[in-house]
Amino acid sequence: MVNQIHATAIIGPNVTFGKNIVVGPYAVLEGEISIGDNTEIGAHAVVSGWTDIGRRNRIFPHAAVGFDPQDKKYKRGERTILKIGDDNIFREFCTMHRGTVDGGGVTRIGNNNLFMAYSHVAHDCVVGNGCVLANSGTLAGHVTVEDFAIVGGLSAVHQFCRVGRNAMIGGCSRVTQDVPPYSLCVGGPALVYNLNAVGLRRAGVTADSMKHLKEAFRIMFHSGLAKNSAVEQIEKEVRLTDHVKHLLDFAKASERGLCGSVKEPSNGE
């Protein structure tokens, strides 16, 4: 299959294509752009700047990918990068911006992510693999989202926050602190409600691993202990499985602090 570039598409001189590329009507590709094999770019989508797109990505109509960051410190023409992995889906009107010089120069998106309509990934963000940003879910600058996290619709994540792996942020949430891995968070400001038990079971986490993680969550978020004291107690009393270790490492590395929590749920889920 040869590349299918619609006659009305505008392609700049520094765009390089892999194999089996589809570019729809009135799409605009201008900049230092590399597009991997089997990628589709829909009608009226615009890709700009220094942007590296991997294989098998789908960019839907009216998406804006690779534009200058929305940062006053950014100077027009600075060579910063948006790097996108493989098998991602970018739905209508989503926006993905390049990095800033002060922030390291790269916005990085991994593999197998879904960015629903009107979602936004700002400058210098790092999004892992298998994540979902639902409709109008937005990341401010310098946010890190670990693998398999979900950001609910109409939710906003404050700059420099982190969202832990397998965490789920409920819709219409305002996230101003780090969202712990494996947690269910929602609200304004977002609070930890519980362990994301359903998501973890779907991810294949065993019942034994879940038991130790639940105990760690109880101590971390429902014991009334300060973070450092909770970490010490978990290290003494809970079996340090890989999941528990990741939770502890995430908590220890937190600079903005972890999201607060509600009272302990009665059902233990």
- Residue among 124, 137, 152, 164 flagged as catalytic: 124
Positive or negative torsion for Cα 192, 193, 194, 197: negative
Q: What are phi and psi of 231, to 5 degrees?
A: -60, -45
- Residue among 97, 120, 123, 158 flagged as catalytic: 123
Burial 132-157 (b: 16+ CB within 10 A, else e): bbbbbbbbbbbbbbbbbbbbbbebbb
Question: Is 124 an annotated catalytic residue?
Answer: yes
Question: Is 142 an annotated catalytic residue?
Answer: no
Q: Which residues contact 255 (CB under 8 A, 6 or more apart)?
A: 160
Beta-bridged to residue 175, according to DSSP, are: 157
Identify the residue whose tokens are 């829909």: 42
Question: Is 120 an annotated catalytic residue?
Answer: no
d(CA 187, CA 173): 5
Burial 82-113 (b: 16+ CB within 10 A, else e): bbbbbbbbbbbbbbbbbbbeebebbbbbbbbb
Identify the residue whose tokens are 């990918």: 65
Indicate which residues carry an active-site annotation. 123-124, 141
